[in-house]
Amino acid sequence: MMKVELIRYTPEPEKLVAAAAKLCYSKIGIDGILDGLDTEKTEKFLNLLMDLGHESPIEHVSFTFGVEGISRVLSHQLVRHRIGCSYSQQSQRYVKLEQFEYIIPPQIEAIDEARNIFVTAMEKDQEAYDRLVEILYEENFNKYVKEGKTEKQAAQMAEKASIEDARYVFPNACETKIVFTMSARALFNFFKMRCCERAQWEIRDMAEEMLIKVKEVAPILFKHAGPGCLNGPCPEGNMSCGKHVEVRKKFRKE
C-alpha cells in the first residue's frame, strides 16, 4: 500500500517566500525584509504574488517526502523531474530482497485470470532471484577465498557481488522506497504534469496525496497548484482527456 509522508519542509515557508518577494518590490535591505510580516500581511502579499504568477521567489522553500509502497515504474517516472529535485532510493544492489514486495495495477487486480498470471510471474521472479544469488554467491565466495580474503571478508564481498547481478531479474512492479526533496517551484511543475488525468494512475495518486500534504502547511503558496487545466486551457491539446470541468471541481474542492 502506498504511503506518502511530508517529513520535512522549510520552516514558515510562506513567510520566507513573502520576504524574498518583498525584497524584489521595495527599497528595503535584507536586514528588514522580515519586519512587519505578520500573518495577515504575509497572507495578503503572498496572495497577490501567487495571483500574479511570480514564481521565482518560491524556489527558496523546499519540501521533503518519504514514500514507500510504490513500484519501480513510478520511481523511473519520478526521477525524470530533475531541476530543483534530489533523490535517495533504496538500493537493490546493497539490500538483499529475500521476499520482494510488488505493486499490482488495479486493472490487473480486478480480473482474476490477469491477477493469477501476474502473481505467478512475481513468484517465479523471486525463485529465479534466490537461485541466482545462491549460484553466484558460491562462485564469488570461492573466488575471493582464493584471492586471499578471510572467510568473513569473502562472505561479505560475495553477497554484494551476487545480489547486484541477480537483481536484474526483478520486474518493474518491484516495490521500492524513496526520499526526495523538491523546491516549491519544482512541485508546481510536478503537480501540473502528474496530477493530470493523462498521467499514469500510480504517480497521479502519489502526486495528489503530495498536493494535499503541502496545502496543509502552505495553503496560499499552493492554492493554484494542480494539473495544467486547473487555471487555463488544457495544455495537452488534441490529447486532452476532456474532463477539465470535473478536474477543476475536484481540485478546487480540495
Look at residue 254 in the predicted model and tell me its pLDDT: 58
Are 120 and 150 a contacting pair, CB within 8 Å?
Answer: no
Q: Is 233 left (phi over 0), alpha (psi -120 to 50) or beta?
A: beta
Q: What confidence tier does 229 reach under pLDDT thresholds 50, 70, 90?
A: confident
- Domain limits of the chain? 3-90+175-253, 106-169
Could you tell me if 191 and 227 are in contact, meaning their C-beta atoms sit under 8 angstroms apart?
yes
pLDDT by residue (tens digit) across 25-63?
776 767 667 777 788 888 888 888 888 777 888 999 999
Query: Which residue, chain included where needed, has cell 551476487?
Result: 162
pLDDT at 61: 96
Residue 138: HSE in the Cβ half-sphere, 13 Å Cα cutoff: 5
Res 32: pLDDT? 67
Give the mean pLDDT of the chain. Answer: 92
Instruction: Please report the pLDDT score of residue 81 as a whole number.
Output: 97
Say which CATH topology domain 3-90+175-253 has: Gyrase A; domain 2 (3.30.1360)
Q: Is the dihedral of CA 178, 184, 186, 192 positive or negative?
A: positive
Given a contact cutoff of 8 angstroms between Cβ atoms, the answer to whether 220 and 184 are in contact is no
Mean pLDDT of the region 160-170: 96
Tell me which of 72, 185, 194, 204 is the catalytic residue: 194
- What is the pTM for the complete model shown? 0.90
184-202 pLDDT, tens per residue? 999 999 999 999 999 999 9
pLDDT at 147 > cutoff 80: yes
Q: Of the candidates 65, 69, 96, which has an alpha carbon nearest to the alpha carbon of residue 176?
A: 69
- Name residues whose C-beta falls within 8 Å of residue 173's C-beta, 6 or more positions apart in sequence: 71, 72, 73, 102, 103, 104, 118, 122
**Range scoring the smallest mean pLDDT among 10-14, 87-91, 248-252:** 248-252
Give kind and range of the element (H or E) at residue 162: helix 151-166
- Identify the three-state secondary structure at position 8: strand
d(Cα 14, Cα 217) in Å, to the nearest integer?
A: 9
* Residue 169 DSSP label: G
Residue 64: closest CA among 180, 199, 152, 184: 180
Q: Is 194 assigned a catalytic role?
A: yes
> Residue 161: its pLDDT value, please?
95
Span 73-95, pLDDT tens digits: 999 999 999 999 999 999 999 99
